[in-house]
Amino acid sequence: MRKADGQYTYQVGQPVAFREETARHAALESLIPTLILIPLVWLAIPFVVNAAFASLSRAAAQSELVGIRHLEPLDISGVPDEVRPFAASVNRMIARLQVGIDAEKRFVADAAHELRTPIAAMQLRVDNLVNAPDEAARSERLRELREAIARASTMIRQLLSLARADAQLDLTAIETVDLSQLVQKLVADFLPVADARSIDLGVGRFESAQVEAREGELRMAVRNLLENALRYTPAGGTVDIDLFRSADDLVVRVTDNGPGIPEASLDRVFDRFFRLRAEDSEGSGLGLSIVKSVVAKYRGSISLANRSDGHSGLIATIVLPARGTM
């Protein structure tokens, strides 16, 4: 302690060796536990990581088993939160695959069942032709055989069309389709059929329209609507087709004055192989299914409604996004 000018100054000293010893002791106290913990941590890391990713490993092993005959969803219980959204999306993909494969299996089974009838009919016609007693009977049975072959050919063609319509949309094959020109050509193609059946086939409201799609698929859809309308419209009846814009959509509407469809069956007619009349030998029950598949591929819709203007008949309406709105 020193006194200078009435002020007291206090000084405290400590040997440098003591301070160095204290620092060395403190360092050793912290280092020794660290040296002990590091090996323990290294030993624990594999167990912790394996425990954390055990559920992910199980899911990965399950994914290796996923196949056409095994589409079980992955067990994602306990999967780390960081990868749970991905694992859930894989399960949703598996569910979609299951739905698609089940639909294909039903389609193949239904197709095989439906093809039995025309094949059996052709076999019967061949047997009748072989056993024809005279030339007149032979000519008649040959005509029946040709009709049976034509019906089988139509069904096979529609099965192939439906398979193409169900195929995934190839964006590279999209083109700008002049829908008004397409409709005009189809009407011209069907005029001889309509005239042969004494049906007035005409065009009502008609506007220029373009849509982004594959022309062949749109032609197939509109053709099926016209075929159905002409098939069920009686002689002396009328079939009209309209094409116009509505907001950002294009509307194709086919109106006939046939018998219409019972209200309870309006939705069912889109089911594959569904026929209103079991004895209907002309239809395959695929036409409207093809139309629905095509328009759905291009984010469109199709609806059916019975006429409400005092006349019998059906109104089939296709709505498609106009060019540039898809």
Determine the 3-state secondary structure of 298 from DSSP: coil
What mean pLDDT is predicted for residues 159-185?
Answer: 77
Band of the pLDDT at 41, cuts 50, 70, 90?
confident
Of residues 158 and 170, the one with the higher pLDDT is: 158
- Please give the C-alpha separations between residue 85 and each of 22, 79, 213, in angstroms, as whole numbers: 54, 10, 34
CB 250 within 8 A of CB 319: yes
- Quote the pLDDT of residue 200: 94
Confidence tier at 229 by pLDDT (50, 70, 90):
very high
Within 13 Å of residue 299, how many CA atoms lie on the same side as its CB? 10
3-state secondary structure of 74: coil
AA identity, residue 186 = L
Tell me the β-bridge partners of 304: 316
Quote the pLDDT of residue 318: 95
- The pTM score is 0.60
Judged against a pLDDT cut of 60, whether residue 325 lies above it is answered with no
Does 63 have pLDDT greater than 70?
A: yes
The answer to whether the CB of 205 falls within 8 A of the CB of 242 is: yes
3-state class (DSSP) for residue 294: helix
Range ranked top by mean pLDDT from 109-123, 134-148, 165-179, 307-321: 307-321
The string of pLDDT tens digits covering residues 256-282 is 999 999 888 888 888 877 777 654 545
CA 202/CA 194 separation, integer angstroms: 10
pLDDT in the model for residue 151: 76
Give the span between the Cα atoms of 89 and 181, in whole angstroms: 43
User: Could you read off the pLDDT of 64-113 as tens digits, one per residue?
Assistant: 777 777 778 877 777 777 777 888 888 888 888 887 787 777 777 767 76
Q: What is the pLDDT of residue 109?
A: 72
Mean of per-residue pLDDT scores for the chain = 81
Give which of 286, 276, 194, 271 is closest to 240, Cα–Cα. 194
Q: Quick one: which of 229, 240, 217, 241 has its CA closest to 291? A: 217
- Domains in the chain (CATH in brackets) are 172-321 (3.30.565.10)
